[in-house]
Amino acid sequence: MVDLAIGLILVALAIGALLSSTLFGSLTLFFAFGMLMAVAWARLHAPDLALAEAAIGAGLTGALLFNALNKSPPEVIKERLRHPLSVALVCAAILALLVVSLLPSLDQVSPLPPMVGPRMDASGVDYPVTAVLLNFRGWDTLLEIAVLLLALLGVKVLLPTHTPAPQPWSLLLGWSKTLAPVIVVVGGYLLWRGSRGAGGAFQAGALLAAGAVMLRLNHVLPEIRWSQLLLRISVLIGLATFLTVAIATASFGDGWLTYPSAYSKALILAIETTATISIAATLTLLVEGEGDELQS
């Protein structure tokens, strides 16, 4: 019953987000859609996806979209979906075909998940999702971190313009100062928890970024600039560590990203920690980085 309600509300929110008369309304509904989607993932016993969806899908994407809306000229804000009916028909057709072709696979069992269990001892962590992300399919994750870096570089190339943030009200200021240490602690916990349960670099990084963005909006953090070595190091260190591990294992070890079993826990922890720093720095810059900050 609850699931049915969540499903129906999700569809309603999606339709509302597409057809809303203002972009602001669309974004608000999209944000709500993301939060409810996180609940849906949690109901489906996928806590990792739920955390990621809440932090990145709803939180960060929402912040990025509101930021973009704030910078858009008025004629863009009035823009609405054209030909909603034909778009809906095309999407419905693709969806129908997709469902029909996925139906026969409902009773198929993939040989991959059973393979994970027996190899957990050798993986260096106790949580299967983290083992898949950082060890069994670590190469995908390495490249995904590079995708995040490229997203930042893409924004950097675009020279986003500076829009002054409004003066913070005192309540927000007070709250953000109280929340900041809590966010750091929770972020650290999420990172650490990744080895045993749902959590990990992406979730922790997104949370830390949210905290940093909040502090930036309230003018608590000092100015950040691309020319600061420390900032560039924070953005690059995750990828650099991962790549160093890959090159080192290929040159001196058993092969590309083959962790020596005695060190796999330490290596995964090092990669996760540095990746958290990089993800937090990159996401903060994506939301808050502006023309001058990214260029000089």
Partner 1 sequence: MNYALASLAIPFTVALLTLLLQRRSEANPIVPAITVLATAVSLVFAGLALETQAVSGAVSHLNVGGWDSPLAIRLRLTPLKALLLGFVALIHLLTGLYAWRAKPKIARDYWPLSALLHTSLAALILSADIFNLYVTLELLSLSAVALVCLSGPKAYTPALYYLLLSLGASLCYLMGVAVIYGQYGVLDMTVLAGIMEADHSTRFALLLMTAGLMLKGALWPLHLWLPEAHTYAPTPVSALLSGLVVKGPLFILWQLWNNLAPEALAREMGPLFAAGGVVALVSGGWSAFRAPFIKTLVAYSTVAQLGYALMGLGLLLFLQERIYAVALWLFVLAHGLAKVSMFLAAGEMQTLLGSKRVTAMRGATQTIPITMSAFAIAGISLIGMPPTGGFLAKWSLLEPLFTQANHWPWASGVLLGTFVSAAYVFRAIALGFYQAPMSREPRHFDRVSQWLALLPALLVGLMAFAGQDLIAWMAGVTQT
Using rule CB under 8 A, residue 170 touches partner 1: no
Nearer to partner 1, 11 or 98 (CB): 98
Per CB under 8 A, the list member of 21, 86, 105, 178 interacting with partner 1 is 105
Nearer to partner 1, 114 or 222 (CB): 114
d(CA 92, CA 35): 24
DSSP conformation letters of 134-172: IIITHHHHHHHHHHHHHHHHHHHHT-PPP-PPPPPPHHH
Residues of span 144-163 touching partner 1 by CB under 8 A: 144, 146-147, 149-151, 153-154, 156-158
Nearer to partner 1, 156 or 193 (CB): 156
Using rule CB under 8 A, residue 101 touches partner 1: yes
Among 31-39, 183-191, 192-200, 225-233, which window interacts with partner 1 (CB under 8 A)? 225-233
d(CA 189, CA 179): 15
Output the smallest distance, CB 248 to partner 1, in A.
11
Per CB under 8 A, the list member of 43, 78, 80, 119 interacting with partner 1 is 119
Task: List b or e across 247-285, with b for residues whose CB sees 16 or more CB atoms inside 10 angstroms.
Answer: eebeeeeeeebebeeeebeebbbebbbbbbbbbbbbbbb
Using alpha carbons, list the distances in angstroms from residue 161 to 23, 55, 73, 286. Answer: 20, 26, 12, 13
Residues of span 70-99 touching partner 1 by CB under 8 A: 94, 97-98
Output the smallest distance, CB 260 to partner 1, in A.
10
Output the smallest distance, CB 210 to partner 1, in A.
23
CB 259 within 8 A of CB 230: no
d(CA 92, CA 117): 38
d(CA 222, CA 246): 35
Output the smallest distance, CB 178 to partner 1, in A.
35
Per CB under 8 A, the list member of 206, 239, 271, 279 interacting with partner 1 is 239
Interior angle at CA 204, CA 199 and CA 209, nearest 5: 155
Per CB under 8 A, the list member of 1, 109, 171, 262 interacting with partner 1 is 109
Using rule CB under 8 A, residue 222 touches partner 1: no
Residues touching partner 1: how many (CB under 8 A)? 55
The answer for 198, left when phi > 0, alpha when psi is -120 to 50, beta otherwise, is beta
User: Contact positions toward partner 1, by CB under 8 A?
Assistant: 94, 97-98, 100-102, 104-105, 108-112, 115-116, 119, 135-140, 143-144, 146-147, 149-151, 153-154, 156-158, 226-227, 232-233, 235-236, 239-240, 243, 246-247, 250-251, 254-259, 295-296
